[in-house]
Structure 1
Amino acid sequence: MIPVQGLNGAVVAVLGLGRSGLSASRALAAGGAVPRCWDDNPEAREKAATEGFDCVDLKRDGAFEGVARLIVSPGIPHLYPAPNPVVSAALAAGVPVDNDIGLFFQSFADDSWDEFDTAPRVIAVTGSNGKSTTSALIHHIMEHVGRPSQLAGNIGRGVLDIDPAVDGEVVVLELSSYQTELARALTPDIAVFTNLSPDHLDRHGGKGGYFAAKRRLFAEGGPDRAVIGVDEAEGRFLAGQLSEGAVDDRVIRISVAEKLTGPGWQVFARKGFLSEYRKGKQVGSIDLRGVAGLPGAHNHQNACAAYAACRALGLAPKVIEAAFHTFGGLPHRSQTVGEAGGVRFVNDSKATNVDSAAKALAAFSNIRWICGGLEKEGGLGGLSGATAAVRKAYVIGREAAQFAMQLDVEAEVCTTMAAAVARAWEDAEEGDVILLAPAAASFDQYDSFERRGEDFVAQVKKFAP
C-alpha cells in the first residue's frame, strides 16, 4: 500500500466504494487522513463499514463542511454529460476534487528514496487502443531484464495498492481518460500516448474533450520523456506542442503508418520490421513477424511504444527484442485460444470500439468474424474498407439485426455467442480464423468485455478442446 501523504488529520470524502474507492480509503487512513465514505449502493457501503470506514450521505446539506478534498471513482461523471450531484456539491463548497491517481502521484515518493542508488521511475501509458498491451509489455520487459517492476492502474493492481518502491524500481501505469482528466497531480517520468480514436465521447463532451483529458498527462505532467504515436492529427499536434524543435529528443515519435525521418528520435514499424532512428541514423531494428504474442500492425504499434519507453530507460535493443519473444500477450486481446482442423480461434473481446476492431481485422486473413453488442456513439462507418479479409460475419447482441444491416459483408444474425461460434465453425474451412472482435461494448449481454471473452472461450472448447 502507498499511504497518502499531505493529508494527515484531514477529513477526506470518498465517493464510490468499488476497487479504487476502497483502496483510496485504506491509503488515506494509512496516511493519517479521516475518510468519509459514500456509495449509493447499500452493499458497497456495508462492505466499507465492515472495514471500519464511516459512511456518510454526501448528498445531505452540510456534508462538505470541514472536508479537505473529495476523491471520486473513475466511473462517476464530474462534468459531462452532467456532473454527479455530490461532485457539484463539493465544487459549490469550494472543496477540491481529485482521484486515486492524483493521490498516488502526490504520495509515491518518500524519505526512503534518499538511500536509493537509482531513483524509482514511473511510466504512464494512455491512448484509445493498445494501452493495456503496451503497459503489460513494458512490465514484461522489466521483469525479463531482472529490474523490479509493478504494473497498476487499469491493469494489474490499483495504484494505491502497490508496494512501496524499492531501489531502481519501475512502476508501469495504464491510465484511462477518466483518470487523467481529474487527477490533480500527474508527474510520470515517461509518458506514452499510443493513439486516439473516438471513445467515451459523452463523458468528455466530444472528441476535443476526450483528447484534452489525455493531453493532461503530458501538458501538466511534464514527463522527462514523452513517447507519442503520430499516426493521427492529435498525436502530431501533441508531439509538436511538447517539442522545442526537430532535434529535441525528449519526444520520441512512433508510427506504424509511415517511415519517420528527421534529426530527432523516432521508432516506427513497416512491413513487420521495427526501426529506431536517432539524429538521422538507424540505431536499432527488430523483425516483429516472428513475435507470436504481438500479431498485426496494431500490436506492432504497441511494440514501438514499449520499445521507445524502454530505450528511454537505457535498455539495449537486443535485450528488448529477446523480451518481445517471451511475451505471451494479454487475455482478450488478439489471443489465440484454440485450433482444430486447421481453423484458428482468436479472442479479441477487448476490441470494444470500431477502431480497435478494424485493427484486429487487419491482423488476420480468411476471417469468420463474430461481432456485435452495445453499439457506441458514432456508428460503424469506421469499419468501411476494413473488412476485406472477412468471409462472413456472425452477429451477436440484443440489437444484432440492426448491427448486421450496417455491415458491408455477408452477415448472419446469431444473437448469442453459442450460436455465433457454432455457425462460424460449421462454415469454417482449413486456413480460416474465427475472430471475436465485437466493435461494440459488452453491456447489453455481459457485465464486462472479460466475461464476453470468457464465454467465447467456453464455446470454442466445444470444438477445439
Structure 2
Amino acid sequence: MIPVQGVEDQTIAVLGLGRSGRATVAALAEGGARVIAWDDGQDTREAAIAQGIEIADLTRDAAWDGVRALIVSPGIPHLYPRPHPVIAQAYARGVPVDNDVGLFFRSYASADWEGFDRAPRVVAVTGSNGKSTTTALIHHILSEAGRPVQMGGNIGTGVLSLDPAIDGEVVVLELSSYQTDLARALTPDVAVFTNLSPDHLDRHGGYGGYFAAKRRLFAEGGPDRAVIGVDEPEGQYIANQLGMGPSDDRVIRISSGQKLERYGWSVFARKGFLSEWRKGRQAGSIDLRGIGGLPGAHNHQNACAAYAACRALGLAPRQIEAAFHSFRGLPHRSQLVAEIGGVRYVNDSKATNVDAAAKALQAFDRIRWIAGGLGKEGGIAGLVPHLGRVSKAYLFGHSARDFAMELNGLPHEVVETLAQATERAHAEAEPGETVLLAPAAASFDQYPNFEKRGEDFMRVVEGLA
C-alpha cells in the first residue's frame, strides 16, 4: 500500500467504493486521515460498513463539515454528460476534487528514497488502443531483464495498492482517460501515448475533450521522456508541442508503417521489422514476424512503444528482443485460444470499438468474423474498408441487426448469442481460416465486461475442441 501523504488529521471524503475506492480509503487512513465515504449503491455501502468504513451521506449538507478534499472513483462522471451530484456539491463548496492517480503521484516518493542508489521511476501509458498490451509488455521486458518492477493502474493492481518503492524499481502504469482527466498530480518519468480513436465520447463531451484528457499526461505531467505514436494527427501534435525541434531526443516518435529517420530518436515498424534510429543512424533492429505474442501491425506498434520506453530506461536492444520472444500476450487481445481441424480460434474481446476491431481484422487472413454487442456511436460503417479478408460475419447481441445493415453486401448471419455465433462459424469454417471474435462493440448488453465475454467465447471453443 502507498500511504497518502499530506492528509494527516484531515477529513477526506471518498465517492465510490469499488476496488479503487476501497483501496483509496485504506491508503488515506494509513496516511493519518479521517475518511468518510459514500456510494450510490446500498449493498455496496452495507459491505463497506462491515469492513469498518465510515459512511456519510454526501448528498446532505451536514456531511461536508470540515471536508478538505473529495476523492472520486474513475467510473463516476465529474463533468460530462453532467457532474455527479456529490461532485457538483464539491465544486459549489470549493472543495478540491482528485482521484487515486493524483494521490499516487503526490505520495509515491518518500524519505526512504534518500538512501537508494538508484531512484525509482514511473512509466505511464495512455492512448485508445494497445495501452494494456504495451503496459504488460514493458513490465515483462523489465522483469526478464532482472529489474525490480510493479504494474498497476487500469491493469492489474490499483495504484494505491502497489507496494512502497524499493531501490531502482520501476512502476509501469496503464492510465485511462478517466484517470488522467481528473488527477491533480501527474509526474511520470516516461510517458507513452499509443494512438487515438473515438471512444468514451459522452464522458468527455466529444472527441476534443477525449484528446484533452489524454494530453494532460504530457502537457501537465512534464515527463523526462515522452514516447509518442505519430500515426494520427493528435500524436503528431503532442510530439510537436513537447519537442524543441526534430533533433530533440526527449521525444521518441513511434509508428507502425511510417519511416521516421529524420528525428533525434525514433522507433518504427515496417513489413514486420522494428527499427530504432538515433541522430540519423540505425541503432537497433528486430524481426517481429515470428513473435507469436505480438501478431499484426497493431501489436507491432505496441512493440515499438514498449521498446522505446525500455530503451529510455537504459535497457539494451538484445535484452528487449529476448523478452519479446517470451511474451505470451494478454487474455482477450488477439489471444489464440485453440486450433481445431486446421482452423484457428482467436479471442479479441477487448476490441470494443471500430479502430481496435479494424486492427484485429488486418492481423489475420481468411477470417470468419464474430461481432456484436452494444454498438457505439457511428456503428461499424468505418470497418467496411477492412473487410476484404472476411468471408462471412456472424453477428450477435443488441446491435446485431444494425450492424448487418452496414456490411455493404458482406455475407452474414444474425443470431442471438455469442455461443450461437461461435458454433455457426465453427460449422462453416475451413482449414486455414481464422474464427475471430472482434466485437467492435461494448459487452454490456449480455456481459458485465469484455473479460466475461472473452471467457464465454473460450468456453464455447473449448467445448468444440
Matched with 2:204 is: 204
Matched with 1:371 is: 371
- Give the residue type in structure 2 aligned to 1:450: E
User: How does 1:352-431 map onto structure 2 within 5 Å?
Assistant: 352-408=352-408, 409-431=410-432
- Give the residue type in structure 2 aligned to 1:75: G
> How many angstroms apart in 1 are the aligned matches of 2:105 and 2:378?
35
Corresponding residue SS for 1:227:
strand
- Give the residue type in structure 2 aligned to 1:293: G
Matched with 2:164 is: 164
* Structure 1 position 297, deviation (Å): 0.3
Corresponding residue SS for 2:259:
coil
* Structure 1 position 264, deviation (Å): 1.3
* Structure 1 position 177, deviation (Å): 0.1
Q: Is the 8 A contact 2:375 2:398 kept in 1?
A: no
- Give the residue type in structure 2 aligned to 1:429: E
Corresponding residue SS for 1:62:
helix
* Structure 1 position 257, deviation (Å): 2.6
- Give the residue type in structure 1 aligned to 2:235: G
User: How does 1:162-311 map onto structure 2 within 5 Å?
Assistant: 162-311=162-311
Q: Is the 8 A contact 1:104 1:159 kept in 2?
A: yes
> How many angstroms apart in 2 are the aligned matches of 1:85 and 1:263?
48
Matched with 1:443 is: 444
- Give the residue type in structure 2 aligned to 1:196: L
Consecutive unaligned residues in structure 1, runs of 5 or more: none
> How many angstroms apart in 2 are the aligned matches of 1:91 and 1:65?
15
Q: Is the 8 A contact 1:394 1:420 kept in 2?
A: yes
> How many angstroms apart in 1 are the aligned matches of 2:363 and 2:109?
41
Corresponding residue SS for 2:63:
coil
Matched with 1:103 is: 103
1:304-335 superposed Cα distances (whole Å, 9 cap, x missing partner): 00000000011111110000000000000000
What is the Cα-based RMSD across aligned positions, in Å?
A: 0.7
Matched with 1:123 is: 123
Q: Is the 8 A contact 1:64 1:95 kept in 2?
A: no
> How many angstroms apart in 2 are the aligned matches of 1:223 and 1:402?
43
1:353-372 superposed Cα distances (whole Å, 9 cap, x missing partner): 00000000000000000001
> How many angstroms apart in 1 are the aligned matches of 2:185 and 2:337?
40
Consecutive unaligned residues in structure 2, runs of 5 or more: none
Matched with 1:459 is: 460
Corresponding residue SS for 2:386:
coil
> How many angstroms apart in 2 are the aligned matches of 1:377 and 1:170?
38
Structure 1 runs of 4+ off > 4 angstroms? none
- Give the residue type in structure 1 aligned to 2:26: R
1:146-204 superposed Cα distances (whole Å, 9 cap, x missing partner): 11100100101000001111111010000000000000000000000000000000000
* Structure 1 position 48, deviation (Å): 1.5
> How many angstroms apart in 1 are the aligned matches of 2:101 and 2:381?
35
Matched with 1:68 is: 68
- Give the residue type in structure 1 aligned to 2:153: G
Corresponding residue SS for 1:122:
strand
> How many angstroms apart in 2 are the aligned matches of 1:419 and 1:49?
43
Matched with 1:329 is: 329
* Structure 1 position 6, deviation (Å): 0.6
> How many angstroms apart in 1 are the aligned matches of 2:266 and 2:399?
44
* Structure 1 position 101, deviation (Å): 0.2
* Structure 1 position 415, deviation (Å): 1.8
> How many angstroms apart in 1 are the aligned matches of 2:294 and 2:425?
25
- Give the residue type in structure 2 aligned to 1:434: V
* Structure 1 position 381, deviation (Å): 2.3
- Give the residue type in structure 1 aligned to 2:441: A
> How many angstroms apart in 2 are the aligned matches of 1:32 and 1:399?
49
Corresponding residue SS for 1:350:
coil
Q: Is the 8 A contact 1:274 1:287 kept in 2?
A: yes
373-382 or 438-447: which moved more? Answer: 373-382
> How many angstroms apart in 2 are the aligned matches of 1:182 and 1:98?
6
Q: Is the 8 A contact 1:349 1:436 kept in 2?
A: yes
1:326-355 superposed Cα distances (whole Å, 9 cap, x missing partner): 000000000000111100000000000000
Q: What TM-score comes out, normalization by structure 1 length?
A: 0.99
Q: Is the 8 A contact 1:17 1:44 kept in 2?
A: yes
Q: Is the 8 A contact 1:187 1:221 kept in 2?
A: yes
Q: Is the 8 A contact 1:349 1:450 kept in 2?
A: yes
* Structure 1 position 379, deviation (Å): 2.1
Matched with 2:318 is: 318
179-188 or 56-65: which moved more? Answer: 56-65
Q: Is the 8 A contact 2:268 2:274 kept in 1?
A: yes
